Amino acid sequence: MLLNRAKLLASPAANSVFTTVLTRGPVVRPEIARITGLSSAAVTKAVKPMIEAGYLEELPQGPRIVEGAGRPAHPLAVRADREFFVGIKATADELIGVVTDLRAQVRAAHRIPVTDRSAAQVVRDIAALVAELTPVHAERTHHIGVSVSGDVDRRGGVVRYSPFLGWRDVPLAELVAAATGLTVTVENDVKALTVAEQWFGEGVGADSFALATVGVGIGCALVVNGRLVAGGYGVAGEIGHIPVAAGNGPECHCGARGCVESIASEEAIVARARHAAGDPDLDMAGAIDRAHGGDAAVRAVFDEAGEAIGLGLAAMVNLVGPERVVVSGEGLAAYDLFEEQIRAAFTTQAFGAAARCPLIVRPLPWEEWARGAAAVSIQSLFAA
């Protein structure tokens, strides 16, 4: 099966055709040719063996669309159940797992707590979660994507730095492969979520877009010219570490001062809200309640966080120029408290027409992040 797939998708044309059907399907051959820039003959040549191998199918239902000189054309679609993929999102407190089909549709989901953040124990827990998720789909499940926060070397399968797990230079792909017997792809969690949005969500059809996340950390990933941008060192898009209050700004866990994350992450907001309220036991929910209840000092903490996020987004849009920015993350529970400041700072700091870039707020549960890890696994197989 793997050899057949490798042969099927060996050429850039075949990869381009399959990815187009995967992300745009059902779609007819003339539309595939238009999107990919390939000739009709090249599309037909690529499609035929994929149908024979069971990766694509012609849909019989519905009215047939006339192609060219009267030839009927059926829409092509991916056979979603041809293969299944595991996706795991690792947080400091939980492992969230899903099984998806080839179209990244979730077929099963399960969570287990993280009781020990050591790499060895987390890997054992991942293996246990995989066993819990895959009994029904085991025969057609050969691949797993794992996403974690921080600096991840996807090509090498190494987590170079994950602040919330306390990891440095963990060869996670190698460890998970040994524990599960599956082929492993490891990626930064925000980049993985962005892949899912690029192929199956808000990014479908966009040549460029950005996804920013607000919560435990401040993350961002970029798609430019239809490709996820890793950068020369694998950390492109890290708006959380753009300095917006350098010099006298608060110290960030990265060692710098005045980063967006040092002002607007959940930990930073809680620490500053505790100081403002004089309550050392205040948590995020309590801070939100106080701000909603009219506590001006705590509300000012959220105002400053919103301004920092807006400045970071504006800097990114000025540099990269995405068509749209999707804003997500667990911090959206407090979004109403800093949305006005985000948009005001963004509009003020974005240069010229860049201020028209839409900010699309899209709440996504943790299972969607795990789906992103599965999407990365799918992408690693089928993207050129």
pLDDT tens profile 166-198: 999 999 999 999 999 999 999 999 999 999 998
pLDDT, residue 369, reads 95
User: What CATH class does 204-361 carry?
Assistant: alpha beta
Axis-axis angle for helices 366-382, 189-200 (nearest 10):
70
Q: How many CA atoms lie within 13 A of 69 on its CB side?
A: 0
Give the right CATH number for 2-78 from 3.90.1170.50, 3.40.30.10, 1.10.10.10, 1.10.10.60: 1.10.10.10
> What average pLDDT does the structure give for the chain?
89
* pLDDT value of residue 5: 59
pLDDT tens readout for residues 332-341: 888 899 999 9
Phi and psi (nearest 5°) for 274?
A: -60, -45
pTM confidence score: 0.84
Chain segment 257-273, per-residue pLDDT in tens: 999 999 999 999 999 99
pLDDT of residue 382: 66
Domains 82-195+367-382 and 204-361 share a fold: yes
Task: Outline where DSSP puts E strands in 189-308.
Answer: 209-214, 218-224, 227-228
Compute the half-sphere exposure of residue 7: CA atoms within 13 Å on the CB side of its CA: 9
Give the CATH superfamily of 82-195+367-382. Answer: ATPase, nucleotide binding domain (3.30.420.40)
Which residues in the chain land under pLDDT 50?
Answer: 1-3, 62-70, 384
pLDDT of residue 2: 46
What pLDDT score was predicted for residue 357? Answer: 93
Residue 329 near residue 365 (C-beta atoms within 8 A): no
* Residue among 280, 256, 255, 268 nearest 331 (CA): 268
Which pLDDT belongs to residue 384?
Answer: 45
In one letter, which amino acid is 188? N
The residue ranges of every structural domain in the chain are 2-78, 82-195+367-382, 204-361
